[in-house]
Structure 1
């Protein structure tokens, strides 16, 4: 793992440039562009398939080390008011989440190399501290000597008075019934402390160190910098003055900062609109000096402030109660590596899945990207929608670190080289299933970093075989082997371009697990179906979590979790997406259950062996004969496959008219024989009771569904993540492959599908 990389975008069109950023421990490495067809190295399958592409970037490059510096903070351009202070005051409302982890910067203009400047810190004993350092590097520090409590709001401040030489600091617990861990002031008087003394030095403010919120920057020998003393927790209403204010004067500035001594007063709720934050990275100074800043690595916004009352759960309705930002020492949304090479995608390159194969000896990485057709110029009648939002959700996940993983999987997790590497390299960023170091959930994911589990050959520890990217290559391989022409588009493309993109095609096909979907994506799929588009849902647990992308930075995705099967839950009052203001969590709880989109919805999971389907009596109807051409009525469908040994497995969806399955939809087949590891998902339960596992519960199954939609359209749903892993069995000659081929061939025809007229009459009646 001494060579890794990423691109500046996941989706690219012919004629556009794509940039590649590479970290290499080797003096030189080679790069070749390859087309990815099959990424499963399982010897029972067709094996890994790649085709080399003739490209002008296929050559040797000089290697170089590129580092990632994680941690979120706010930076400001150099401003003379920060550099010319003699006396000063620093104040804020803070909510520390890991005060015990050592030195953390709150408001700092500090040079760690020269020991100069000033700053408000949490010290190595977990106490609030104020530091000043003079031009010679002499340092004075004053502490409250009272460790801060995690999960409690504090009003904190520190000051230095040049005239008297007095340095002072204080902290005061701010406890309400709803704003933190406590609702009653248990021994709060012990937390309300202050300290002051005289010193013989004064801070050297003009020290070339930037003023920062939530960290300190350490300059590197190569001229770049590293973020250190990273803060975990919330900060609300920070203020800076060029005078030594009293605690009472600082208190008046919490909500009404004013006067000639005011340098900056940042309002983290500024920028909130009815549709979320207008510019998620911009930090507004409401003082006359307008010293605005930029948030780096996307700390979490739309979080409750010190004055949150819980009467309003949506930040857009009470922005004054959401004036906080939650910083994490392991936030990372942009590796910020330099570009190593750039490729202009040829006009005649076929749409598909590609990678830059960068390697030195046996050490290699495949930097994956997707080539779509030129906008408005489809090259096929079929579009394969690559679920990049789901790839981002699982990007670099650490499931092997979950204590209950072995029980959940029904086996010991399979650990790959990539997993071991990520366990030692937190700087590669987290997935939206992971927790930050302070225990809060990860709500942002970005493609601007190496994603080590979005590579061919990777075998995911969540699955007995493959999951997400390589599972979707099972489908890419089948389409290729069967000779179907198809364009690749991403769900991110769909988010920004909507139904106009899909309506260029006769058929749209999903991947095996399109779990994370935005509102515009759902709209596009439903509008496509309403216009007569034919839709093939080739997986399970699709259209589940609410997500969105940043319009200013399409590489960034946001999710907030609650209610469903999840790795974490949003804190009270923090379920709404900061980028849009809309309620997060699952679409079912927003009135848009998956059954409305594809006829089936998430019911059960079991990351163990997969099973098979049995055809239903209804599947024998004459108008459905075309689906089962060449398949006997009593055949087990998919009692084979590369994912758990069967076509029905991992996660399963079912038909449910109460949640929106059209009444004229037909269950073609249902799975059976699932083990006790398969259990209903959390949102389907009212009470946990015995007898709910796959061995006893008839609702633990996958329902393969077909139904007609308006204007000659139709929907076919497999309801299982494992389904595509069965397509290549027996050299692609099997009943799952045959059934899928029957559906796709008929979906591509311009003529009405059998039974359409009959079902339209039933719908009208």
Structure 2
């Protein structure tokens, strides 16, 4: 019997009572899957120190057998030309030209730069790169393929002007290849004595045969398979800038003029895609403008990356908003994915009265111990806010880590964690199914960092039972379920909302609540999310940050399709990759990405603490600081004997660790902030965050650097607003320990119970004493 596997995703993450949610399922080896709606309560299956895995089956009409099928995924990004009248169905002479910056010219497969080519039937024409890395033009008549190949191979990360002219009457074909590298735009510079040029003329034996249904594509070619039908293969890796096609035979002199920056001659011009056109203060969309006579605009598939430097970038301007003409590069990756685009499997309606919380459709196929299982996770919001407390679910961070494969791909994992990863079957499954895309901690095959992540694909490591092998503990959504279990255990009335809801709705999404509680690791936030939470606190709201390394990276969501998130990792911060020079701004919004700290909004300004170190080996307890005994804040530690807080936990045995944040007045911690407790004694696996380092020197490790600690803080805001922060990812996973009766749990109960009440907080009548206390 064939191995059975099942994967799925939904059209949304957050859904209200009475609304519908659509599911998309791919199944190998079976056409029936058993579906069950479940409420997710706790993810960590550690029964020695915690409650173990907990889910609740929910009665729903959708429960039972679902018809499922094998579905295919189009991997790779490319541009598809809108050509309903077949203006580009050139049966006679033609010329094509583009600027290219190949990133994998010798990857052993053919790559199509542009053309109308059918790989399955060998029909049409295309300009591309052969498997050995040479520029090539080919034509096919459905029986044979004839081609002309350049003499010099293309170099990786070097800008070229490339083109072809084909005289259908004589078969004479001229291939054009010239470097346009300058001091800034390529990997190597003008001092390198390499002959980049190639000008080859030959006579092809026949002209192209063009079926009318073959699409003109930029960055790929049409293909077909008996099971999946039409798809795109021969995918290109690298940048393409300002391609065009004409039905004239262009002489070398005309191509030389284009290489020097002139526009193509209008005579015979069929299409000229101005890849530098359309930039605004708010970014650029997916359509590439065609400025020729027929306006044959293109649409990006799987988010080709824009806002990238082009062939003529001169290094002066680092943002496409300042010099758009120098940012015509569009970057393509054969292993990119932002939408699996599967057929819909099932739509269900969320019934009124269903408790707000974390849910999933659980899908199972297969017999006995060979069962395959998928959880398609979502949250349910109330139709109207009901509770005084809201749990703010950090979807942006789930997307950032979605399908990460660091245990396989990152050699630094073992020295970072001090332990070898013990790979699980689920992680092997993630690695095997690269067609479901990567995380923003991964690299594409050509070495570039992944800057887009999407909900429209299976996110395998969001399954509630998932345990991160290189850390050995739950991470992101499965870790946040420890907070969910704590809320459930103490029967708190709590509404669930996602940070994407806040991004869409602003402070209005938070305003109905007295208190908002974050997840364990809300690392990725948009400007709208930050603005909303800052306004919420200033207007009298109360924020509890139960995490570490929060509000760190600046991200945004595609305005046309906000299931897709974008981030650029810049030249600071703890990061898996760094964007290339000149490519630091988000194409989706036009704003600079990177650390919020480097845009004047360090996490300390809102949370009171910010990232200082990470280590994935052990955790420590907090120790109470002198502030904690002051009567303005002593209520926070009421009922806790002794000085230690959080000397228990499901993540390495204590509440302070994994990634930790500290109080820092120089970065905007409010000056009246109280330090309730601090950790210490972290191991040397905890290393100072790179953004803290100006000069590197020995000793920036846990046992030697006093800055490496988690600070637990409290400060008040306007209108009885307040912020309480734990500064540790591990804190949330300490809550279920000791039957939910540990010191971390007791402390958080004190804070939540106070924060959800109207009026002044306990101890505020003594707040004037702060002047003497400090």
1:175-254 matches, cutoff 5 A: 175-188=181-194, 190-206=195-211, 208-222=213-227, 224-253=229-258
Shift of 1:758: 4.3
Corresponding residue to 2:598 among 566, 582, 589: 589
Shift of 1:690: 1.3
Give distance in 2, aligned partners of 1:282 and 1:9.
Answer: 24
SS of alignment partner, residue 486 of structure 2: helix
Give distance in 2, aligned partners of 1:28 and 1:66.
Answer: 14
The answer as to whether partners of 1:218 and 1:227 remain within 8 angstroms in 2 is yes
Corresponding residue to 2:625 among 613, 616, 620: 616
Matching residue of 1:15: 18
Shift of 1:36: 0.5
Matching residue of 2:331: 326
> How far does the alpha carbon of each residue in 1:6-59 deviate from its partner, in whole angstroms, 9 at most, with x for none?
001111111211011111121311111111011111122101111111111112
**Residue 72 of structure 2 corresponds to residue 63 of structure 1:** no
Shift of 1:187: 2.8
After TM superposition, the structure 1 stretch with the greater mean CA deviation from structure 2, 692-701 or 446-455, is: 692-701
What are structure 2's unaligned runs of at least 5 residues?
A: none
SS of alignment partner, residue 526 of structure 1: helix
Shift of 1:114: 1.7
The answer as to whether partners of 2:240 and 2:329 remain within 8 angstroms in 1 is yes
**Residue 135 of structure 2 corresponds to residue 132 of structure 1:** no
The answer as to whether partners of 2:72 and 2:228 remain within 8 angstroms in 1 is no
Give distance in 2, aligned partners of 1:744 and 1:200.
Answer: 79
Matching residue of 2:389: 382
Matching residue of 1:261: 268
Give distance in 2, aligned partners of 1:12 and 1:251.
Answer: 56
Closer/same/farther in 2, CA of residues 251 and 351 from structure 1, 3 Å limit? farther
Corresponding residue to 1:168 among 174, 187, 190: 174
The answer as to whether partners of 2:91 and 2:207 remain within 8 angstroms in 1 is no
1:674-689 matches, cutoff 5 A: 674-689=682-697
* TM-score normalized with structure 1 length: 0.97
After TM superposition, the structure 1 stretch with the greater mean CA deviation from structure 2, 218-227 or 150-159, is: 218-227
**Residue 280 of structure 2 corresponds to residue 273 of structure 1:** yes
Matching residue of 1:119: 126
**Residue 433 of structure 2 corresponds to residue 429 of structure 1:** no
The answer as to whether partners of 1:550 and 1:556 remain within 8 angstroms in 2 is yes
Give distance in 2, aligned partners of 1:27 and 1:540.
Answer: 43
> How far does the alpha carbon of each residue in 1:323-350 deviate from its partner, in whole angstroms, 9 at most, with x for none?
1100001110000111111101112211
Give distance in 2, aligned partners of 1:110 and 1:566.
Answer: 40
> How far does the alpha carbon of each residue in 1:462-513 deviate from its partner, in whole angstroms, 9 at most, with x for none?
4331110011000000011101110000000011111111111000110000
**Residue 10 of structure 2 corresponds to residue 4 of structure 1:** no
The answer as to whether partners of 2:42 and 2:481 remain within 8 angstroms in 1 is yes
Give distance in 2, aligned partners of 1:64 and 1:223.
Answer: 12
Give distance in 2, aligned partners of 1:369 and 1:83.
Answer: 46
Give distance in 1, aligned partners of 2:594 and 2:614.
Answer: 18
The answer as to whether partners of 1:157 and 1:169 remain within 8 angstroms in 2 is yes
What are structure 1's unaligned runs of at least 5 residues?
A: none
Give distance in 2, aligned partners of 1:761 and 1:586.
Answer: 36
**How large is the Cα RMSD of the aligned pairs?**
1.5
Closer/same/farther in 2, CA of residues 731 and 223 from structure 1, 3 Å limit? closer
Matching residue of 2:32: 28
SS of alignment partner, residue 753 of structure 2: helix
Matching residue of 1:514: 522
Matching residue of 1:571: 580
Give distance in 2, aligned partners of 1:515 and 1:100.
Answer: 37
1:375-524 matches, cutoff 5 A: 377-400=384-407, 401-524=409-532
The answer as to whether partners of 2:5 and 2:365 remain within 8 angstroms in 1 is no
Corresponding residue to 1:751 among 751, 759, 762: 759
The answer as to whether partners of 1:138 and 1:201 remain within 8 angstroms in 2 is no
The answer as to whether partners of 2:86 and 2:212 remain within 8 angstroms in 1 is no
* TM-score normalized with structure 2 length: 0.96
Shift of 1:223: 6.2
Matching residue of 1:41: 45
The answer as to whether partners of 1:11 and 1:490 remain within 8 angstroms in 2 is yes
Corresponding residue to 1:702 among 693, 710, 729: 710
The answer as to whether partners of 2:526 and 2:556 remain within 8 angstroms in 1 is yes
Shift of 1:283: 1.4
Give distance in 1, aligned partners of 2:262 and 2:41.
Answer: 59
The answer as to whether partners of 1:463 and 1:643 remain within 8 angstroms in 2 is no
Give distance in 2, aligned partners of 1:750 and 1:538.
Answer: 22
The answer as to whether partners of 1:15 and 1:346 remain within 8 angstroms in 2 is yes
The answer as to whether partners of 1:416 and 1:458 remain within 8 angstroms in 2 is no
Shift of 1:695: 1.1
Shift of 1:756: 2.7
**Residue 117 of structure 2 corresponds to residue 110 of structure 1:** yes
